[in-house]
């Protein structure tokens, strides 16, 4: 914790960065994002298990870019998001300084994408055991059970798009739901529109999502969106042996091909 604060102080004081984006204690005791522009405020920085939000969501926002060079407190998911954003030409090398933190309080400064890549390389990209078992649980269900499960889940969807707002990889200037020529997704929150929205969301994140889980945490009606993401993450890895957010130069899974991709389902 102290190391983090000192680091932040030093960076701001030395004008290496203009703003440090990190975590601070929220009113209800939870962790929330904080933007620190002057050394005086540095002490509000915290880091603990509560700090799960993927702060990369802020760095591509124009208003944040205006603030100047950013130092970003990053958990593993954030690091991978940064690489994914780089691979998608959304940020440039040296745009930001990364302060990789872990629960044991160590802080690693990563100045380049290369450094982030090397750091990320040591991480375990796979879903963790708990996630795997839960995913398997739903995969094992009968088709009809799965359909009912999801219909029930989606029936609660309000189309508030909090999932979209929370996702650092949903950065389009105009989301397809806002297209009305043609109207790809019906506006009202009825079962069909809700299904279509969620299918589209999942598909648009296929091969990109780094499983930070912010979409699910943001959902006011607690739809387990992470299940969809994790399903596609495992499908992408199983079929194409690709992990998103591992390299700043990687080509996107769905826009690249291998002539020997499986086609057992094609007649």
Partner 1 sequence: MARIGVFVCHCGENISATVDVLKVAAAAAKIPGVAHSVEYKYMCSDPGQQMIKNAIKEKNLTGVVVAACSPRMHEPTFRRACAEAGLNPFLCEMANIREHCSWVHEKSDATTNKAIDIVRTLVAKVKKNKALLPIKVPVTKTALVIGGGIAGIQASLDIANTGHKVILVEKEPSIGGHMSQLSETFPTLDCSQCILTPRMVEVAQHPNITLHSYSELESLDGFIGNFKARIRKKARSLDEKLCNGCGLCTLKCPVKKIPSEFDAGLGMRPAIYVPFPQAVPNKPVIDRQNCTYYLKGKCRLCEKVCPTQAIRFDQEDEIIEADVGAVVLATGFDIKHGDFFPEYGYGKFKDIIDGLQFERLASASGPTLGEIRRPSDGKIPETVVFVACAGSRDPAKGIEYCSKICCMYTAKHAMLYKHKVHHGRPYVFYMDIRAGGKMYEEFVRRAMEEDGVQYIRGRVSRIYEREGKLIVKGADTLLGARPMEIEADLVVLATASVANDGAEALAQKVHVSYDSYYFYSEAHPKLRPVETNTAGIFLAGACQAPKDIPEAVAQASGAAGKVAALFSQNELIREPLIAVVDRQAPPLYSTCVGCFLCQTSCPYQAIEKEEIRGRDGQLIKTVAKVNPGLCQGCGTCVALCRSKSIDIQGFSHEQVYDEVLALLNRGESDV
Partner 2 sequence: MSDFNPRIVAFVCNWCTYAGADLTGTSRMKYSPQVSIIRFPCTGRIDFMLLLKAFANGADGIIVSGCHPNDCHYSSGNFHARRRWIIFRGLLDFLGIDVRRVQFSWVSAAEGAKWAQLVNSTAESIRQLGPFSCYHKLRGLGVE
Q: Which of partner 1, partner 2, none interacts with 55 (beta carbon under 5 to 8 A by kind)? A: none
Q: Which of partner 1, partner 2, none interacts with 88 (beta carbon under 5 to 8 A by kind)? A: partner 1
Nearer to partner 1 by Cβ, of 8 and 206: the residue is: 206
Q: Could you give the CA distance from residue 204 to residue 177 in angstroms, rounded to a whole number?
A: 12
| Residues 89 to 148 in contact with partner 2, rule: CB under 8 A | 138-139, 141, 143-148
Residue 51 DSSP symbol: -
The span of 43-51, 53-61, 80-88, 249-257 binding partner 2 (CB under 8 A) equals 249-257
Q: Is 192 in the site for partner 1 (CB under 8 A)?
A: no
Q: Which of partner 2, partner 1, none interacts with 162 (beta carbon under 5 to 8 A by kind)? A: none
**Shortest reach from residue 178's CB to partner 2, in Å:** 14
Adjacent-strand bridge partners of 45: 24
Of 2, 47, 57, nearest to 24 (Cα)? 47
Q: Is 255 in the site for partner 1 (CB under 8 A)?
A: yes
**Shortest reach from residue 250's CB to partner 2, in Å:** 15
**Shortest reach from residue 262's CB to partner 2, in Å:** 7
Q: Could you give the CA distance from residue 96 to residue 64 in angstroms, rounded to a whole number?
A: 11
The span of 5-13, 31-39, 81-89, 223-231 binding partner 2 (CB under 8 A) equals 223-231
Q: Contact, 49 vs 160, CB < 8 A?
A: no
Q: Contact, 212 vs 205, CB < 8 A?
A: no
* Residue 196 structure tokens: 């279509």
Beta strands per DSSP E along 56-208: 70-74, 96-101, 107-110
**Shortest reach from residue 76's CB to partner 2, in Å:** 24
Q: Could you give the CA distance from residue 59 to residue 61 in angstroms, rounded to a whole number?
A: 6
**191-205 and 225-240 helices, crossing angle to 10°:** 40
Alpha-carbon separation of residue 237 from 170, 190, 242, 243 (angstroms): 21, 33, 5, 6
Where does this chain bind partner 1 (CB under 8 A)? 88-90, 171-176, 179, 181-182, 184, 204, 251-252, 254-256
Where does this chain bind partner 2 (CB under 8 A)? 138-139, 141, 143-151, 176, 183-184, 186-188, 190-193, 195-196, 199-200, 202-203, 206-207, 227-228, 231-232, 235-236, 239-240, 253-259, 261-263, 265-267
């Amino acid at each position: 914790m102290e190391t983090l604060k000192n680091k932040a102080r030093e960076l701001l004081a030395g004008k290496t960065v203009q703003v440090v984006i990190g975590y601070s204690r929220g009113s209800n005791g939870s962790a929330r994002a904080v933007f620190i522009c002057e050394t005086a405020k540095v002490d509000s920085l915290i880091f603990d298990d509560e700090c799960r939000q993927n702060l990369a969501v802020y760095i591509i926002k124009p208003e944040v870019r205006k603030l100047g060079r950013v130092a970003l407190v990053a958990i593993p998911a954030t690091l991978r998001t940064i690489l994914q954003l780089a691979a998608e030409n959304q940020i440039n090398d040296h745009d930001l300084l990364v302060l990789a933190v872990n629960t044991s309080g160590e802080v690693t400064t990563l100045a380049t994408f290369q450094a982030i890549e090397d750091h990320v390389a040591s991480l375990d990209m796979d879903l963790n055991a708990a996630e795997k078992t839960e995913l398997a649980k739903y995969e094992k269900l009968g088709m009809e059970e799965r359909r009912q499960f999801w219909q029930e889940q989606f029936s609660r969807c309000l189309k508030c798009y909090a999932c979209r707002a929370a996702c650092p990889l949903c950065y389009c200037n105009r989301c397809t739901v806002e297209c009305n020529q043609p109207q790809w997704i019906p506006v009202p929150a009825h079962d069909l529109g809700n299904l279509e929205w969620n299918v589209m969301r999942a598909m648009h994140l296929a091969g990109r999502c780094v499983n930070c889980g912010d979409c699910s945490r943001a959902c006011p009606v607690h739809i387990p969106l992470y299940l969809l993401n994790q399903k596609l993450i495992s499908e992408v890895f199983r079929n194409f042996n690709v992990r998103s957010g591992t390299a700043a130069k990687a080509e996107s899974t769905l826009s690249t091909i291998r002539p020997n991709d499986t086609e057992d389902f094609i007649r």
